[in-house]
Structure 1
Amino acid sequence: MHPTASRPVHSNQSGPHPALERTVRRHLAHPFRRPPAAHAREAFARLVERADGRPWILDSACGTGESTARLAQRHPEAWVVGIDRSEERLSRGRRKLAAALPGNAILLRTDAPDLWHLMAEAGWCVACHYLLYPNPWPKAEHLGRRWHGHPRFADLLRLGGRLELRTNWPVYAQEFAHALQVAGHAATLGVVAAPETEPISPFERKYALSGHTLWRLQAQLPGAPARPGAERQAGNTPVDR
C-alpha cells in the first residue's frame, strides 16, 4: 500500500439519514438564534476591511489553507477566504505556504457557520463556495454536525453563488443533494475525473493515490435579497473556474 494511502469511510449509515428531511425542514423554518461567537465577528470585521468590490469565494473548512492558495491562484480577480476553526492547522499552513500564499487569499480562524450568518445578515453574496473537507462526521448520530444538518444551513443558502462539494463518501454527497432539493434547489452529482492535473485539496491528492472515487456536487444558488437596512456588497458576481 502506498505510504499516503487512505482508508475508505466507515459509517453506521448505508444510505441517507432517515431524519435528514425532517431536520432540514426544521432548520429552514426556525432560524438559529444563538449569537455568533466573538471570533466570528472579528473575522467578519477583517473581511469588511478588505471589501473593495471584488467577488468573494469561500473555502469552508480549509484545513491548512492549501486549497485556499490553489483557488486564489485560479481566481486572481477575487478574494478567496479560507475558513477553519483550528488555529494550529492554519498556522501550520501559513508556515508551509509562506510566500506561496497569494495576496488575494485570506485565512481566518473561526467557525464557518457563524461567519456565513454574519455575511448573510449583512446582505453579502458569494461568487463561489467550496466545501472540500471530504467526510465530516460520518456517524449517524452526528447528522446535525454535517453542513446540511447544521442549524445555519439556511445561511449557507442565503449566500448564493456556485456551490461545489467534494467527497469520497457518496452518502454525504447524496444527503447534501437531498437537503438542497428540500430547500428548493437543484444539484448535479458526478465523479471527478481521476486524476485531476492539479487536485484542489490535499484530500483529493491522497484519495487519488488510494484509488478512491471522488464525488462532486455542484449547484447554483440564487441567494436571498438583503434584509431591510442591509447593504449588499457590490461587485459579487459569479465567476467560473
Structure 2
Amino acid sequence: MVANSSIVTSNQATIHRDLSTVVRKHKKFPYRRPIAAHSRTQFAHLDSIVGAHGGPVILDSGCGNGEFARLIAAKHPDHLVIGLDKSRVRIAAATKAVAAGNLVLARGDCVDLWRLACRAEWPVAQHYLLYPNPWPKAKHLQRRWHGHPIFDTLIALGGLLELRSNWEIYVAEFALALALVGFGNTTVEKLQCHAARTPFERKYLASGQPLYRLTTHLLKPPSSPLRPGIA
C-alpha cells in the first residue's frame, strides 16, 4: 500500500565529511568520461526538436512516468518540456500518455545528455530534479548528483533549478555543494504540498514523510521568469 513507503535510512547522521573535498576536486578536474554513441544519437534527435522549437526549455531529469512533465507542459505552453529517464519501462509507459505538443519524453543517460545540452547551449529556463536516488550509504557520496563529477555541468545548464527529496541531508548537501562553487543564494524549505505531483511524492505524503525543496537561480533564465515550483 502507498502508506507503507519506507523512510531513508543511512549511516550518515549529517552532511558527509568529505563533501567539500569531493566537490572541489570535481571542480578542478572536469569530467572526461566518453559519451556513448547511443547518447549522441538520442541527443541529435532532441537537439533538432529544441532547434525547431526556438524557445525556452524546461528539463525534468529523472521524469519517471512523466506525470510532472505533463503538468508543467500544460502550465507553460510556450516552453518545450523535455523529460529524461534511464528506465525503458517507465519511458515506454509515459510516452503513451503524452498529449501536449510541447512535451518530449526520452530514455537516456542524464550524465551524457546534460553534457551535450550544455555544449549546444540549450536555453534552459528551468530544471527539475524530483526525488533523485539518494544513495544514502556514506560510501556512495559520489553517486549523488552533488557528489558526482557531472555536478559542474548540471550547474552550467543554468536556469531555475528545483530539487525535491524526502531526505533532508541530501538537500542540505546539495545546498552546501552549490555554495562551495559560488551559488550560495539558495532557498531550502520543508515542502508544504497538498497535491502530489509525482508517484514518489504521492507515496511519501501518504506515509506522512516530510519533504524538502531547494530552489536557486543558476543563471538568468533565457525567457520570462518562472516562479519556483507549482505545488
Q: Would you call these one fold, judging by a TM-score over 0.5?
A: yes
SS in structure 1 of the partner of residue 213 of structure 2: strand
**Within the alignment, does 1:121 sit opposite 2:108 as a pair?**
no
Q: Tell me which residue corresponds to 1:20.
A: 19
SS in structure 2 of the partner of residue 13 of structure 1: coil
Any gaps of 5 or more consecutive residues in structure 2? none
Q: Tell me which residue corresponds to 1:157.
A: 155
> Residue by residue, what CA displacement relative to the aligned partner does 1:12-33 show, whole Å, maximum 9, x if unpaired?
1111111111111111111111
TM-score by length of 2: 0.91
TM-score by length of 1: 0.87
Sort the Cα spacing of 1:133 and 1:76 in 2 relative to 1 into closer, same or farther, 3 A.
Answer: same
Q: Tell me which residue corresponds to 1:90.
A: 91
CA contact (8 A) 1:9 1:135 kept: no
Matching of residues 1-241 of structure 1 within 5 Å? 3-5=1-3, 6-50=5-49, 51=51, 52-95=53-96, 97=97, 100-185=98-183, 186-195=185-194, 197=195, 199-222=196-219, 238-240=225-227
CA distance in 2, matches of 1:134, 1:167: 7
Any gaps of 5 or more consecutive residues in structure 1? 224-234
Identity of aligned residues (%): 48
SS in structure 2 of the partner of residue 127 of structure 1: strand
CA contact (8 A) 2:55 2:123 kept: no
Sort the Cα spacing of 1:134 and 1:31 in 2 relative to 1 into closer, same or farther, 3 A.
Answer: closer
CA contact (8 A) 2:57 2:122 kept: no
CA distance in 2, matches of 1:115, 1:78: 19
Sort the Cα spacing of 1:117 and 1:218 in 2 relative to 1 into closer, same or farther, 3 A.
Answer: same
CA contact (8 A) 2:166 2:204 kept: yes
When the two structures are aligned, how many residues end up with a matched partner?
224
How well do the aligned residues superpose, as a CA RMSD in angstroms?
1.8
> Residue by residue, what CA displacement relative to the aligned partner does 1:214-240 show, whole Å, maximum 9, x if unpaired?
1000000027xxxxxxxxxxx655433
Deviation at 1:203, TM superposition (A): 1.3
CA distance in 1, matches of 2:224, 2:41: 25
CA contact (8 A) 1:8 1:212 kept: yes
CA contact (8 A) 1:62 1:133 kept: no
